[in-house]
Chains A and B, each alone.
Chain A
Amino acid sequence: MQTPTSSPALRAEGQASPAPARPAGTGLSSGSDSAPPVAPVALPAPNVMAQLVSHPLFLRLVSVVIVFSAWEYAGRVPISPAFPTFLETMDALSGLVADGTLFQAFWITLQPLAIGLLASVVVGVAFGVTMGLNRLAEWFGAPLFIIAQSAPLAALIPILTFAYGIGLTAKVMTVCIMAMPVIVLNSLNAVRHTPLSLLEMGRSFLGSRWQVIWKIVLPAAAPVIFAGLRLGCAAGFIGVILAELLITPTGIGDIITYNQSIAEYAKMYAAIFSIIVFSVLFIELIERLEVTLFRPEKRATR
């Protein structure tokens, strides 16, 4: 796949590929040989230790603890007056959750996001697939999206505000311009790169054009289209936050800007923390959904 969006690490959803097994945790607990009488009992210890250290979940937990401790420490130094500790932030977060502010903010933020993403997904996949199937459509439309893909489209936001005012529409449009190009281009490339032998197979077994598109091209393109949807959703989140910071402060953007202006940094950080966690969980959810609904062969191996 030679697309502007392709990256060796992102190619074919290889992000979460399991690491090859290698011996880990050597020499971490070598003190047992100093006490011969208990040696037989202590013998399994290095093994258990090594297993524990190399266990993915354990290391993930360690990594979370390290990062949050570092945050806590940096906040206590403090590295900046505008840098609250981890615990202060969590405290502020629970406060925002308790008084309902956070849910209200999310409700407001999610409206332009949901509308914009839905529109981008429907329109984007339709555009991309059409261009993948039709050379004329590709010739006509693809250059616009290729430029949009590499361009800093965020700069269009002031123009969107002129065109649509400062309400919901401008924010929806912001989400769309951020999310759509990657969805369109991924769909286009996915369709264009259907394995030739599968296409020949469809033809040689007398599939009609629509059968080949419906039963071969689209299923074969699904993984890359979904990769585009994940990237598009991530871009949509970027767009909605940007819109809320730049156009008018509403929702999460309002909590961020308001608390920034009154120097309630813990609350500001808590809002940022919550939207980042939310977006990551949301994208994870899409991936799960993809596997459950559209990828029986992946489900089979789980």
Chain B
Amino acid sequence: MNAATAEAIPAEPRAIVEVEDVSKVYPGGTEALNHVSLDFPEGQLTTLLGPSGCGKTTLLKIIAGLIPATGGEVRVDGKVVTGPGPERAFVFQDFALMPWANVLRNVAFGLELRGVARSEREAVAESYIGQVGLKGFEKAYPHELSGGMRQRVGLARALTVNAKVLLMDEPFSAVDEQTRRKFQEDLLELVARERKTFLFVTHSIEEAVYVSDRIVLLSRRPSRVSQIVEPDIPRGDDPEAIRRDPAYIDTVEEIWQGLKKYLDEGV
């Protein structure tokens, strides 16, 4: 990660994902989203942050085309979303790895479903397995890997299909704290290297402030956008420095103050 690439992104990037007036009412009457309108700028990492049980994962899955919205529409690259598409890839909270397939097949699975020839897809998969730091584990099975390594497999799988938008649903929540920190650092590097758009869901304020260019705060269910924060933290060469930066600490505090009122209401 370095400042140069971050500044290379134009000041007003175009919105690659547009969420317009989206509502979601689950069968049974649970109202998850209430007229949410949002833009996600291209090439940035935007985080959806909110109290647990708010509709952040629902919103992400609507953008992914996995569940239909009850009202409004989502456009990706100008096209209305009606289902999953090749320009979007998903990283799952519980990794969603196939236990019967080894790392290589799991990573290459997105390409396998697209009918890419075996040798070709495995070559692509191998290069991404190397990039996420799992070289040598190609033949291992998911149950032989730690939680952190499994999520790296999930990440590599999402990268192989070369989608413009990566949708990450609390990807680090099932991973222990040390691994999580390393992951966050690697994610920053990844964002800088791959010029992709990242949509990231988390319930951790620290994580959101650490990794995001933009943080969208969602209110309690039925969720609406309550605030958008753009942390102004210098991203230097030292990923550890961010956590000591006063701007980082202030932003965490600011968001916490903003979210606290929902907790109080909840109690």
Contact = CB atoms under 8 A, between A and B. Distances in A.
Contact of B84 (A206, A222, A294, A297): A206
A206 B86 contact: yes
Contact of B102 (A202, A219, A296, A301): A296
Contact of A204 (B89, B100, B144): B89
Interface stretch (B7-15, B90-98, B175-183, B213-221): B90-98
Contacts of A205: 84, 89-90, 109-110, 113-114, 157, 161
Given A197-B92, A204-B65, A204-B88, A219 B100 contact: yes
Interface residues of A, number: 24
Nearest to B102: A296
Contacts of A219: 98, 100-101
Interface string B132-154: 00000000111110000000000
Contacts of B65: 204
A288 interface: no
Chain B: interface residue count, which band?
20 to 34
Contacts of B84: 203-206
A296 B141 CA distance: 9
A13 interface: no
Interface in A198-229: 198, 200-208, 211, 215-216, 219-220, 222
Interface string B72-107: 000000000001111011101111101111100000
A300 interface: yes
Interface in B246-263: none
A206 B161 CA distance: 10
Q: Say whether chain A's binding surface is mostly helix, strand, loop, or mixed.
A: helix
A13 to B, nearest CB: 14
A295 interface: yes
A222 B110 contact: no
A275 to B, nearest CB: 35
A196 B107 CA distance: 19
B112 interface: yes
B66 interface: yes
A201 B100 contact: no
Given A215-B112, A301-B144, A200 B66 contact: yes
Interface of A: 195, 197-198, 200-208, 211, 215-216, 219-220, 222, 294-297, 300-301
11 contacts: A197-B95, A198-B96, A200-B66, A200-B90, A204-B88, A205-B109, A206-B114, A296-B141, A297-B99, A300-B102, A301-B143
